[in-house]
Structure formats: structure tokens, C-alpha cells
Amino acid sequence: MIVLASASPRRREILTTLGLTFEIDVANVDESVLSGESAPAYVQRVASSKARTVASRRTGSVILAADTTVVVDGAILGKPEDDDDARRMLALLSGRAHEVLTAIAIETTKDRAPRSLARVVRTEVVFRALDRGAIDRYLASGEHRDKAGAYGIQGLAMALVREIRGSYTNVVGLPAAETIDLLVESGALASWPVAKA
């Protein structure tokens, strides 16, 4: 059984679109950035912590967790604290490229030798130039709340993006191809697409 350690509706939608059957068991972990921690180390640590937390209470399962962040000028842009913080983030991203990093972590509890697998996926995203009015109108939609970098590319923010170099689903929050690769490697899937009965 695959268990998704996330409350994200976007991650659920990606797994469902891929034809996977799974349960949800949300992991509540501290997502604070440690002093001096790099963005790849940060997302991998948080995703692995989520997977381990759920694995500790589930047996006979494959736990899938992920964590996504936005990086610009070496700074990690997590979920905005409020609208002012979101406005600051969008102004930083305006008219330039940034990276979206998602770590995927898998913990297997199916056998006597549990396995841990992890991978960090990077995508470069280029925003068009945004004036204050455009930022304020986007914030008025409320779409930015609870999203790394204060935007959701699958919604209205698709109009903020000029170019993507890499995985689109990574920017949404779960890189589909790499997730399938890790699920096959973990033994959760024999192959993909999953055959329908």
C-alpha cells in the first residue's frame, strides 16, 4: 500500500492522474530552515522527516513524502507568512529566473529491511515582469496562500510564467516521472502504467 504523507490536494491529484491507489496520512513536522542549510539539503531533510514520521506508525506500507521550495539569489522562499510577505516574494521573482526544488522521499515498511530513498528535482522558472498592480490583483485571488514562493503555477499564476526549464509537475509539487521511478525502485510498483483489472 502506498501512503502519501501530505495534505496537498495538488500531490493527491498528480498521483490520482497517474492511476495510483493510495491512502493519505499527513505528517506534521517542523519545516523551519536550519542555520546555514542549503535549499537541496533543506527540502530533502523535511521530506525525509515527513516520510519517517508516517512510517513510524504504519507497517506493511510504502510511505511517499515530498517537500517543495522556491529559491532565488540563494534565498529559500517557503510559504508566505501573510500578504505582505507574499508581495515581497513575488516582487523578488518578477522579471527573472528562479529555481523550484522538490525532494521526494520514500520509506518502506513492508519487510524486515526497511529502505529509504530520496531524490531532489530542480526546475527553472522564468517570471514575466510584474508591476505592483499585477501583484496586488494576483494576491486578491488568495491563490498564493500556503504555497512555496507565494504562487501556484497550476492556477492563475500560469500567466506570470514566461518559461519553464524542467519538470512542470515538479513546480506543482510532485515531479511525476521521478516519483514513478522511485516507486518502482522501492518495489511499490512492478511497472507503470498500472494495469487496470
| Cell numbers representing residue 103 in the block | 525532494
What whole-number distance in Å separates Cα of residue 173 and Cα of residue 153?
10
- Among all chains, which residue has been given the C-alpha cell 514520521? 53
What DSSP string runs through 10-26? HHHHHHHHTT--EEE--
Catalytic residue from among 25, 67, 73, 136? 67
85 by DSSP, 3-state: which? helix
The answer to whether 25 is a known catalytic residue is: no
Provide the sign of the torsion angle of the four alpha carbons 5, 8, 14, 19, taken in this order.
positive
CB-based burial label for 179 (10 Å; 0-12, 13-18, 19+): buried
- Rounding to the nearest 10 degrees, give the CA dihedral for residues 43, 9, 148, 85: -140
141: phi > 0 → left, psi -120 to 50 → alpha, else beta; which? alpha
| CB-based contact 31:65 (threshold 8 Å) | no
Q: Which residues are catalytic?
A: 67
